[in-house]
Amino acid sequence: MERHADKPESLLPLPAAAFHILLALAGGERHGYGIMQEVARMTAGKLRLGPATLYRSIHRLLTDGLIIEVDERPDPTLDDERRHYYRLTLFGAQVAAAEAQRLAHLVRLAQARQLLGGLEQYS
């Protein structure tokens, strides 16, 4: 159920798992295993979500209306009907955007403190 009364900022900061799931779903509807594969692909295999982390995060995201479960499938003839597909909601996209802006601000701060260019000054 979507809860548009919430401000996107009220859910920040998002944990890494939730943010990666939202990012994966920003590319289109996916099922659980598809989300896990997409997250692994996006992070070059550095983050592999286990089934428990993935479904606990999905449960929280569904409860807060950031994602919804969809009934229709991309190709019903080729797909396992037991699979559950998830889609990003408008509120979910707003929360993901707010989190991305928060992280971008942190990156700008790190750049200003010269933490990204090199750490020669500390050696």
Partner 1 sequence: MKLSHLRLALILSDRVYQGLVCLFPSAFRRMYGPQMTRMFRQCCREAIQHHGLKGLTRLWLHILADFTVNLVLEWSATLHKQARDYWPSLLSPLVGLLAGYAYLHTENGQGLTLFLLLCVMCAGLLGYLQPKGAWERALLIVAGVPFVRFIDIIMNYPLPCHTYLFAMFLAGVSALVGASSGVGLGTIIRRFFMWPCCEVAWLNVGANRYMT
- Closer to partner 1 by Cβ: residue 9 or 108: 9
> Under a CB-based contact definition with an 8 Å cutoff, are residues 12 and 96 in contact?
no
2 touches partner 1 by CB under 8 A: no
In angstroms, how far is CA 18 from the centroid of its own chain? Answer: 5
59 touches partner 1 by CB under 8 A: yes
33 touches partner 1 by CB under 8 A: yes
- Closer to partner 1 by Cβ: residue 82 or 113: 82
List, edge to edge, every strand of the sheet that includes 30-31: 30-31, 85-88, 67-70
Min. distance of Cβ 109 from partner 1 in angstroms? 19
Q: Which of 22, 25, 57, 88 binds partner 1 (CB under 8 A)?
A: 57
Q: Where are the alpha helices (DSSP H) in the chain?
A: 16-26, 32-42, 51-63, 90-112
78 touches partner 1 by CB under 8 A: no
In angstroms, how far is CA 77 from the centroid of its own chain? Answer: 28
Contacting residues toward partner 1, per CB under 8 A: 6, 9-15, 17-18, 32-33, 36, 48, 50-60, 82-84
